[in-house]
Amino acid sequence: MYDIKALYEARSVADAIRLLQEHPRAQIIAGGSDVLVQIREGRRAGVELVSIFGIDAMRGVGYDDEGGIRIGSLTSFSHIAASPVIKDKIPVLGEAVSLVGGPQIRNIGTIGGNTCNGVTSADSASTLLAWDAVVELTGPEGVRRLPIRDFYIKAGVVDLKPAELQTAIIIPKVSYEGYFGHYIKYAMREAMDIANLGCSVNVALTDDKKAIRDARIAYGVAGPVPMRAPSAEAAAKGRAVCRETVDAFARAVLCDIHPRDSWRAAKAFREHIAVEMARRALTESIRLAGGVIDE
Amino acid sequence: MYAGQSVKRVDAFDKATGRARYTDDLCDRRAYVARVLHSTIANGRVVSIDTSEAGKLPGVVKILTCFDLKEKHYFPTAGHPWSTDPSHQDVADRLVLTDRVRFWGDDIAAVVAEDEVAAAQALRLIRVEYEEYPFVLDVQKAMEDGAPQLHEEFPNNILKHTQIRIGDYQRAILEPGLTKVEGWYETPVVQHCHIENFICTAEVEGKRIKVVSSTQIPHIVRRIVGQALGVEWGRVRVIKPYIGGGFGNKQDILYEPLCAWLSLQVGGHLVKLDVPREETFICNRTRHSIRNHIVSWVRPDGTYAARKLESFSDQGAYASHGHSICAKGAGAFPQLYPCDNVEVDAYTVFTNKPVAGAMRGYGIPQAMWAVESHTEDVCAAIGADPLAFRRKNLMPVGYVDGFSKNEMYFDSFNQCLDKAMAAIDYERKYRAYQNQTGDVRRGIGVAVFWYNTAVWPISLESSSCRMVLNQDGSFQLQLGETEIGQGADTAFAQMAADVVGVPLEKVHVISCQDTDVTPFGTSAYASRQTYVAGFSIRQTGLMLKERILNYAHELTRMPAFNLDIVDGNIVRVTDGRVLMSLGELAEEALYSLTDSRHITAESTYQIKSNAYSFGCTIAEVEVDIPMCKVKLLNIVNCHDAGRLINPALAEAQVHGGMSMGIGFGMSEKLMFDEKTGRPLNNNLLDYKLPTMLDHPRLMAEFVENYEPTSAFGTKSLGEPPACSAAPAIRNAIYHATGVAVNNAPANPHNLFRAFTEAGLIHDESQGDRNV
């Protein structure tokens, strides 16, 4: 039994905006895999809810007019993982969201919920950040687009204005074309767990596969929100595909990340693992891109 | 013969279809919902509780606080048989609600409401004022002079200290040429994590109180609810339906007394107390964290000259099962590797932590973690082969324990080791994994365990059984021994069918215990259900059979001694002729106009024996050193549990125990904030119970030496599977890396520390990745 004051079910995006305007204190609920847990814990007890779960227009994966990949914010993790578009163009995203919780959570949990939570440990977030994703936000003033790195403000807080909802996540063509990536989730269990650290890396190699044209890396749980490691990216960009480059890239992440010291994991431990993850994720990304690292 | 066959569980269809009824299924909708308010300090006193705001909420029926408890009936909680000798009774240190708070989560008030939402809202509005005392979380610090005291009657917080002295340790260590091996080995606080949280309901029926509880021990619940309420025990009726696991947590009285008391405070109305998972972790029972210190003095020939064990067992805030747990491990120490000179000191100590009680293995998983980790350290110190050393020093055939009179009748250890080694290809892997380098290394490790069956001669061992014959020749079987998911009902039906001589489907096991009608028994603990029930089933079955055959004599004029019951028929043994079916006989017996009889049998058997139950685990791991991760590749348990009544259920039992051992060794640990004593990870996300994906295929092997003390040749298998997996994994990691993880679990946090100390991983900011 959940302590819910009221539940308003939106039939369309416009309907949702209207309901959110009418009930300014209401919380948006999509799959509910986080919101219901928070209600049970008492954190959101007595809440008013606007459910957007029935808005099918916000589901599905396809291409937009510019060739970008458009993921409706209500698309479940299971559907993202099974999407031919994702498998073809950005398989790492499917792999990353397949590491969320267990099968039941992946069937109900949505990528919009995963990002709008503003939690640093979200398995989709670091990969979206590493692929320069753009979020589409729809509100009373219309539609606006925002790079996902600007969407995250601080722990648990994202740039959603009153009565605004995230309607899609877009990965522009320039962000995915020619890039190959790998995600590593570091957790204490092989399933049903939250990341102690998540690391998503992708690279574009030169045509001869001998040098790194571009490298991007993002972490979850290395700071209060998902974050990129620009020093590491700079250390790899334009460099030869070799072990030294990989090591320099990996070591450089420590200039960028600020993991917490907590009972969940010590700072020194997280830093050690972060470097090792960067090393392994870049190595695998290079392999996927057709590069060969000379030992 | 059904004993020995993998027949289907008698409850399989009901459980698979959802028809099986559990406590919550038996509770009707008019029930009030009770929730407990727990203290948010670790040590101190409640000064006042303000319920005025909470009490105004719609749906709140009544709020009771520790100050409403007018009669203070202190009660013990351990699910032990009662002792009529006061000096052997469990410590009675609990009240249904307390103003003297001894751990973060102690029970100080309760809300009775019309539904869960109102109850939860009320809990959030209650204001509590405390007087805080200093608290202590560490077991050895709690023993120091000047440490915060939990219970006045136990100076230095020591609940109990026991000693074992064999030979002369101090003199023995003077022998020239000895190698001293010393180590500290610690196990964490873990929780049972049975799938059904503890739940109970209570209501007044006439002049009595009826309690339905998810418990392993209904007759003990009756006694303790009586003690806690200060009423005659016969005025309490306890019903135990199917339960979703217990693993020892439900071998304790949890909230039955509080629920019964709350019902009495609301006019006897039905009250349901369904404990949330977060509270199950900290407000039920946990496994004792035990810190063990072992010193061994080893001769050049690889034998022990002298050994010493010090055990410090963290009891948490209340006595519960108390010293029994630590004492069991301490008692196993001199038996598993017999030595002429042994000193054991075992302490059970109160700390301001959740209450530790019984948990699958009852002290032996902790003891085996220490002893078998240490055995590996001894082998390393003297350059001995871990298998050869164990074979040479383990309890030999013919060993008899003076206290329990348990005898090592068979060569169980060698037989189990041989079978486990063959199953996992030990010899080849052990050689192949020597002296590895590189980031990812493999290892294989072994651990054995000591266990026994039941608790004779420490306490009462009796089993009572009733059989009632029906018109169709089937019969009801009732026992005080309980089905708690382990498959006991199925084993009971198999044994009963064999003794009486009927097809299995003719035995109707009454699974639900009701203390008003179920024969007395102290129920499920100590891995004793099949063993102890076997005696009363055999005795009662023979009585029933004798009555049936005497009646058959009346009907057939054949002498009873020439008759037998075979496959549900009355058979003349001299020529094998079927004279009549048991159904025909039973129908006549109930409806005869000349000699009507209600054929039943009921008897109690007092068991005055116990039995060793031994085995081992071998685990194979792959260690990713830079990632501080261990992958369990293969694991096998081999047990000598005597004859298996149901091999498929035995295998399932072993799988479950191994899983528990894997979590104990690799991932599970309940953590507490050093500054406040608050539990940090009392939920199934942050408490790392392993998932299916963390397990390899679990292999279960058996050696079936027919147990001579047993009514059906069988002995314990409930707890033994949880006892040796963790140290086997620890030893496999040691084999792979040379790093000894002495504080369980071997999770990435502990491995990071251990690998850093061992120089296997370096500070990343310094570069140099090659290790």
| pLDDT digit string, tens, across residues B395-440 | 999 999 999 999 999 999 999 999 999 999 999 999 999 999 999 9
pLDDT at A295: 65
What are the distances in angstroms from CA B433 to CA A93, B571, B620? 37, 62, 10
* Ramachandran region, residue B205 (left: φ > 0; alpha: ψ -120 to 50; beta: rest): beta
Judged by CB atoms closer than 8 Å, whether chains meet at A254 and B764 is answered as yes
Q: What is the DSSP string of B421-445?
A: HHHHTHHHHHHHTTT--SSEEEEEE
User: In chain B, whose CA is at the least distance from the CA of A272?
Assistant: B764
> Chain-centre distance of CA B81, in angstroms?
15
Last residue of a domain, one of A116, A148, A174: A174
Query: Is the per-residue pLDDT at B362 higher than 80?
Result: yes
Furthest CA-CA distance within chain A: 63
Chain A residues in contact with B769 by the CB 8 A cut-off are: 247, 279
CA distance A70 to chain B (A): 32
At B764, the pLDDT band (50, 70, 90 cuts) reads low
**Nearest-CB residue to B626 (from A251, A268, A276):** A276
**Nearest-CB residue to A188 (from B121, B747, B752):** B747
Residue B307 · residue B341 · CB < 8 Å:
yes
Chain A residues in contact with B679 by the CB 8 A cut-off are: none
Record the tokens describing residue B658, joined without a space: 């191994």
Indicate if B462-606 has the same CATH topology as B385-455+611-771. Answer: yes
Alpha-carbon distance B600 to B590, whole Å?
Answer: 11
Residue B445 · residue B735 · CB < 8 Å:
yes
Judged by CB atoms closer than 8 Å, whether chains meet at B748 and A269 is answered as yes
A187 and A277 co-located in one domain: yes
What is the average per-residue pLDDT within B442-452?
98
**Residue appearing with tokens 């693993």:** B247
Residue B653 burial (CB < 10 Å; 0-12/13-18/19+)? buried
At B459, the pLDDT band (50, 70, 90 cuts) reads confident
Residue B246 · residue B484 · CB < 8 Å:
yes
A32 and A91 co-located in one domain: no
H helix or E strand, kind and range, residue B31: none
A111 and A18 co-located in one domain: no
Residue A293: inside a domain:
no
Q: What are phi and psi of B628, to 5 degrees?
A: 55, 40
Give B197's Cβ-side CA count (13 Å radius). 17
What is the average per-residue pLDDT within B152-174?
98
User: In chain A, whose CA is at the least distance from the CA of B755?
Assistant: A269
Chain A residues in contact with B683 by the CB 8 A cut-off are: none
**Nearest-CB residue to B764 (from A42, A264, A271):** A271
pLDDT at B422: 98
A46 and A60 co-located in one domain: no
Residues of A with CB under 8 A from a CB of B: 1-3, 42, 45-46, 102, 186, 188-194, 196, 247, 250-251, 254, 263-266, 268-269, 271-273, 275-276, 279
Q: E strands within B206-341?
A: 208-213, 236-240, 271-274, 286-287, 289-298, 304-316
CATH architecture, domain B13-133+192-283: Alpha-Beta Complex (3.90)
Residue B605 burial (CB < 10 Å; 0-12/13-18/19+)? buried
CATH number assigned to the domain comprising residue A26: 3.30.43.10
Judged by CB atoms closer than 8 Å, whether chains meet at A192 and B686 is answered as no
Alpha-carbon distance B348 to B326, whole Å?
Answer: 7
**SS3 (DSSP) at A240:** strand
Chain A residues in contact with B124 by the CB 8 A cut-off are: 42, 45
Alpha-carbon distance B306 to B166, whole Å?
Answer: 10
Judged by CB atoms closer than 8 Å, whether chains meet at A190 and B627 is answered as no
pLDDT at B769: 41
Q: Over the stretch B605-660, which tens digit does the pLDDT of each residue have? A: 999 999 999 999 999 999 999 999 999 999 999 999 999 999 999 999 999 999 99
CA distance B680 to chain A (A): 8
A198 and A284 co-located in one domain: yes
- Fold classification of B385-455+611-771 is Aldehyde Oxidoreductase; domain 4 (3.30.365)
User: β-pairing, B289-298 with B304-316?
Assistant: antiparallel
pLDDT at B770: 39
Query: Is the per-residue pLDDT at B57 higher than 80?
Result: yes
Judged by CB atoms closer than 8 Å, whether chains meet at A247 and B767 is answered as yes
Return the domain boundaries, chain B: 13-133+192-283, 385-455+611-771, 462-606
Domain that holds residue A38: 4-51
User: In chain B, whose CA is at the least distance from the CA of A243?
Assistant: B769
Last residue of a domain, one of A140, A174, A208: A174
Number of domains comprising chain A = 3
**Nearest-CB residue to A189 (from B628, B667, B680):** B667
**SS3 (DSSP) at B235:** helix
What is the average per-residue pLDDT within B183-198?
98
Judged by CB atoms closer than 8 Å, whether chains meet at A42 and B767 is answered as no
A76 and A115 co-located in one domain: yes
Judged by CB atoms closer than 8 Å, whether chains meet at A276 and B752 is answered as no
A204 and A269 co-located in one domain: yes
A95 and A117 co-located in one domain: yes
* Ramachandran region, residue B95 (left: φ > 0; alpha: ψ -120 to 50; beta: rest): beta
Chain B residues in contact with A250 by the CB 8 A cut-off are: 764
Last residue of a domain, one of A174, A198, A232: A174
Judged by CB atoms closer than 8 Å, whether chains meet at A189 and B761 is answered as no
Judged by CB atoms closer than 8 Å, whether chains meet at A192 and B685 is answered as yes
Chain A residues in contact with B626 by the CB 8 A cut-off are: 272, 276
What is the average per-residue pLDDT within B328-348?
98
CA distance B675 to chain A (A): 12
Write the ipTM.
Answer: 0.96
User: In chain A, whose CA is at the least distance from the CA of B764?
Assistant: A272
A215 and A254 co-located in one domain: yes
- Low-confidence residues of chain A: pLDDT under 70: 295
A276 and A205 co-located in one domain: yes
Q: Choose from A263, A270, A280, A282 for mutation: most chain B CBs within 10 A.
A: A263
Chain B residues in contact with A269 by the CB 8 A cut-off are: 628, 748-749, 752
CATH number assigned to the domain comprising residue A147: 3.30.465.10
Judged by CB atoms closer than 8 Å, whether chains meet at A188 and B685 is answered as no
Judged by CB atoms closer than 8 Å, whether chains meet at A266 and B764 is answered as no
Q: Over the stretch B669-723, which tens digit does the pLDDT of each residue have? A: 999 999 999 999 999 999 999 999 999 999 999 999 999 999 999 999 999 999 9
Angle in degrees, CA B742, B743, B747, rounded to 5: 110
Judged by CB atoms closer than 8 Å, whether chains meet at B117 and A2 is answered as yes
Q: Choose from A43, A98, A188, A247 for mutation: most chain B CBs within 10 A.
A: A188
A45 and A90 co-located in one domain: no
**Nearest-CB residue to A189 (from B115, B120, B691):** B691
Q: Which of A143, A114, A108, A144 is nearest to A129 (CA)?
A: A114
Contacts of A35-44 with CB under 8 Å at 24 or more apart are A35/A113, A36/A2, A39/A2, A39/A3, A39/A4, A40/A2, A42/A3, A42/B120, A42/B124
pLDDT at A260: 87
Residue A278: inside a domain:
yes
User: In chain A, whose CA is at the least distance from the CA of B117?
Assistant: A3
CA distance A146 to chain B (A): 32
Judged by CB atoms closer than 8 Å, whether chains meet at A263 and B681 is answered as yes
Record the tokens describing residue B530, joined without a space: 């099949």
Judged by CB atoms closer than 8 Å, whether chains meet at A269 and B749 is answered as yes
Residue A294: inside a domain:
no
- Fold classification of B462-606 is Aldehyde Oxidoreductase; domain 4 (3.30.365)
Q: Over the stretch B208-261, which tens digit does the pLDDT of each residue have? A: 999 999 999 999 999 999 999 999 999 999 999 999 999 999 999 999 999 999
Q: Choose from B40, B762, B764 for mutation: most chain A CBs within 10 A.
A: B764
User: In chain B, whose CA is at the least distance from the CA of A43?
Assistant: B124
Chain B residues in contact with A188 by the CB 8 A cut-off are: 667, 688, 747-748
At B460, the pLDDT band (50, 70, 90 cuts) reads confident
Q: Which of B35, B343, B24 is nearest to B196 (CA)?
A: B24
A136 and A193 co-located in one domain: no
Query: Is the full-model pTM beyond 0.95?
Result: yes
User: In chain B, whose CA is at the least distance from the CA of A4?
Assistant: B117
Residue B224 · residue B298 · CB < 8 Å:
no
**Residue appearing with tokens 């006694």:** B223
